[in-house]
Chain A
Amino acid sequence: MTIVDPLPGEDQVLRAHELRKEYGTGTGLVRAVDGVDLAVTAGETLAVMGASGSGKSTLLHLLGGLERPSGGEVWLAGRRVDTMTEKELALLRRKAIGFVFQAFHLMDELTAVENIELPALLAGDSPRAARRGAGELLERVGLSDRAGHLPTELSGGQRQRVAIARALINQPLVVFADEPTGNLDSAATTEVLRLLDSLHTAGQTLVIVTHDSRIAATADRLISMRDGGFVEETRLRHGSGRMVGELAGLEG
């Protein structure tokens, strides 16, 4: 499957148009996502915040092709995702998408390095190449000394870092993170926070759903959701040292 280059003139890696997801019928109808438009440019970090039930996780699943929308379109690197067959989606997930979950979802019977190399093996890479790539990513996330450990032997923060490394092994266009620090304590959150920040600096496109304000604060752009729709959008990358000084108690 070839991935078409982004549309000329705008390097939009991800686009959604009138995206909708509904459950139930009649009086029991629930609109999880209600007509959302979205565009993410390459290298951008987008954070989506909202209360539980606001539809943010569902939105992420729709964007990542893990669920099919009830209506609307999703475009990833110029290809229409919502109409793909399961097989095409699988190929897409191998090449263009990485996913990080709140519950980590690591295989308990595989070591850290085996967990990370798995998507590469599924994609058909040679075992040696997969293992090498996994080793590099382990170093990237700072866990080289834990390569042979099972998930049960790792702390929460370490597990999530392994999961992030796994999401990166196939060099995806976009990494989707669904409440990546939802199951983590404060210290572990800081670990993951640093990692996500460094990914951003390296130019990785990230779409993060979170209720943790610190995670959201690493983003270029922040969107708040309520009842399935967007209510507020802000660019977070402005702000100066003066602002920080003021906040710290230095007076102007």
Chain B
Amino acid sequence: MGRILLICRLAVRDLRRRPGEAALLLLTLTSATAMLTLGLVLTGVVGRPFENTQEATSGPDIMASVAPIDGQAADVARLEALADEPGVTAHSGPFPYSQSEVSAHGVAAVAWAQGRDTGPAAVDQPALTDGGWVRDGGAVIEASFAEALAVGVGDTITLDGRTFDVVGVAVTANTPPYPKSCFAPCYFEGEEKLNTLPPPVRGKDAPPTAAFLAGPSGLVWLTDSDARSLVTTPDHLAYVMNFKLANPADAQAFTNAHQPHAHTEPFVQNWAEVLSGHTWIVEKKQETMQAGSILLGLLALASVAVLVGGRMADQFRRVGLLKAVGGTPRMVAAVLLAEHLVLALAAAAAGLAIGRASAPLFTDPGSGLIGSAGTPPFSLATVGLVTGAALAIAALSTFGPALRAARTSTLSALLDSARPPHRTAWLNTLSARLPVPLLLGLRVASRRPRRTLLGVLAVTVTTCGIVTALAAYANRYLAEKAAGDDPRLAISQALTLVTVVLIVQACVNAICITRTTILDTRRSAALARAMGATPRQISAGFAMAQALPALIGVLAGVAGGIGLAEALDDDPVTVPPLWQLLAVIMGTMVVITALTAVPVRISARRSVGEILHGDSR
């Protein structure tokens, strides 16, 4: 028991002795744990509000729509026949709709214009959040669409050139929010069956097939007569009906049973698909956070490992001191482990707190739903996972050095105070042929291969994250730029956060490596100066020692980032434009070189004699 107390005392004392480094480690670990917490906490954000919306609007379990196609008017009878299906307890519609080009405040988009009765419908009566229900010449806009277009009650919009007043804003559970509002003949991504059907024919002089436009669309309600007035002939109208089932759980079975095999058949959706339309943004955010937390975790691992490795040399020299307290190299290892586990626990607590506190910033379910998620769920599992991750990082990075310490006998620790540098024969021969900065740089890097590898890892991980983010940007905004304020911007929020934290963390890591390297090579650098290397050659050498591994890391990271984007995204990956990739590579090299050169220059101010003389004492 006394031994454990001693270890704790020594651990605390050691931490107090080096507050700067402890703070650095804490920062590193906390960034990873906070991001992980956010990633875990973002589940179930949309569930509650969706339920509320369903209740408030008498949300349907099944939506079916049918559109005119191939020169034939919409088959309404097929649609109405669904009301007689077993399990259907209520229905509303058929409501007519068409697609129009909408414009508001100069922003143009595409809208599904649906015609409604002025009285309430049995199923799916949109709940107003502002203003009143439809009237002639008055339109009600779905809430997420209204937010994207930045219109509210009192504004005017034009639908296919006709002006309407905005008399209300409402939410519905009938269709996913902007920009994914979808009725026949819109086909959700991933439904291969429907993709095999021939695409609809468009054009003004086309046979009675409405000019359906694919792409980002929102929902607008009009009166029945206004909706019909938007098309030239009734044959161009499509119809939608909403159904309630006796058992909402049967909705998926219902959808499966009524999959359309031709364009003329009704396109059937269930409430679960609408829900996923709301959740997909939050899920994307969550995925981003989780991916980001893994990357940050790796970075934290690298940083801690580097710092611990640098500390070990110092710790070994103090073995003699510890011996006086009754310690051995084994004890040194135990103290080291204890310190970092303590820091990991502190980081886990801090990360959980930060994650929990900042979660509301990311858990907005969108204006398309009523209410908010409330306090995010904070399960024991989350706490356990985050704490476990933090402890794992600390243990993994401390493991190697601690094991080495435990294996070293006390005697040899006293005799050979520092871990001897690694020797790479072929590298020494090769570097002799190169200019002096490269010579010095390669040799410095090869002295501590583990540290160099950690540096490569850190740059790779960071570049990976940045390139993935860039690929995500490129994907969403090149291909499908939705007009107005795209809610998908929310994802970019998460992406930006992750990218920024990654970059900061990577800089921290670079500083860790530089600092440790300088301490480790102080004597050799002084020797090199004593033998005639100029200060510029020395700092160039050190810069090379980190820049060359960084170059490898950044190239690997670009490749890895594209791969990671591929893995994370359902859409086929878009490679970010070449100039962006080049900017990342150049930027990384510049930053790494700067982060290295400055501390080296500062340490080079001490006179050679001081360093060497002080060492030999």
Contact = CB atoms under 8 A, between A and B. Distances in A.
Contact of A101 (B421, B529, B535, B616): B616
A111 to B, nearest CB: 8
A103 B615 contact: yes
A24 interface: no
B535 A119 contact: no
A111 B527 CA distance: 16
Nearest to B430: A127
Interface string B327-354: 0000000000000000000000000000
Nearest to A121: B432
Nearest to B616: A103
Interface in B560-585: none
A117 B431 CA distance: 12
A152 B419 CA distance: 13
Interface in B535-561: 535-537
Contacts of B610: 67
Contacts of A117: 432
A109 interface: yes
Given A91-B534, A121-B436, A67 B607 contact: yes
A109 B607 contact: no
Contacts of B423: 109-110, 150
Interface in B434-458: 436, 439, 443, 446-447
Given A90-B534, A122-B532, A127-B432, A108 B421 contact: yes
Given A67-B609, A101-B616, A107-B527, A87 B532 contact: no
A66 B608 contact: yes
B524 interface: yes
A210 B537 CA distance: 33
A68 interface: yes
Interface of B: prevailing SS: helix
Given A114-B428, A118-B531, A124 B436 contact: yes
Contacts of A185: none
Nearest to A124: B436
Contacts of B527: 105, 107
Interface in A153-191: 166, 170
Interface in A93-151: 93-95, 99, 101-103, 105, 107-111, 114, 117-119, 121-124, 127, 130-131, 150
A109 B421 contact: yes
A10 interface: no
Nearest to B439: A121
Interface string B502-535: 0000000000000000000001100111111111
Interface of A: prevailing SS: helix
B612 A152 contact: no
Contact of B535 (A61, A67, A90, A118): A90
B422 interface: yes
A232 interface: no
Interface string B587-617: 0000000000000000010011110110110
Interface residues on B, range: 20 to 34
B613 A86 contact: no
Nearest to A61: B609
A107 B524 contact: yes
Interface residues of A, number: 39
B432 A130 contact: yes
A182 to B, nearest CB: 9
B420 interface: yes
B593 to A, nearest CB: 20
B3 interface: no
A103 B614 CA distance: 11
Contacts of A122: 436, 528, 531-533, 537
B531 A119 contact: yes
Contacts of B537: 90, 122
A109 B446 CA distance: 10
A101 B612 contact: yes
B427 to A, nearest CB: 10
A93 B433 contact: no
Contacts, number: 91
A8 B392 CA distance: 74
Highest count of chain A CB atoms <10 Å: which of B527, B528, B530, B533 = B530
Nearest to B420: A108
Highest count of chain B CB atoms <10 Å: which of A86, A111, A119 = A86
A108 B439 CA distance: 16
Highest count of chain B CB atoms <10 Å: which of A114, A130, A166 = A114
Nearest to B610: A67
Contact of A66 (B446, B524, B609): B609
B594 to A, nearest CB: 21
Contacts of B616: 101-103, 105
A218 interface: no
A119 B606 CA distance: 21
A57 interface: yes
Contacts of A124: 436
B530 A87 contact: no
Contacts of A108: 420-421
A140 to B, nearest CB: 18
Nearest to A68: B607
B415 to A, nearest CB: 12
B532 A170 contact: yes
B439 A110 contact: no
Contacts of B523: 105
Given A103-B616, A105-B523, A107-B524, A90 B420 contact: no
A110 B423 CA distance: 7
Interface string A237-252: 0000000000000000
A152 B436 contact: no
Given A103-B616, A110-B428, A127 B532 contact: no
A87 B529 CA distance: 9
B533 A66 contact: no
B530 A109 contact: no
A105 B527 CA distance: 7
A103 B422 CA distance: 20
B436 A109 contact: no
A166 B527 CA distance: 12
B578 to A, nearest CB: 38
A87 B428 contact: no
B532 A119 contact: yes
Contacts of A114: 428, 432
Highest count of chain B CB atoms <10 Å: which of A91, A93, A150, A170 = A93
B609 A91 contact: no
Contacts of B443: 109
A127 B443 CA distance: 15
Given A66-B608, A111-B428, A119-B532, 14 more contacts: A57-B613, A58-B609, A66-B612, A67-B609, A67-B610, A87-B534, A87-B535, A90-B529, A91-B534, A102-B616, A105-B612, A109-B446, A127-B433, A166-B531
5 contacts: A67-B609, A87-B536, A99-B530, A130-B432, A170-B532
Interface of A: 57-58, 61, 66-68, 86-87, 90-95, 99, 101-103, 105, 107-111, 114, 117-119, 121-124, 127, 130-131, 150, 152, 166, 170
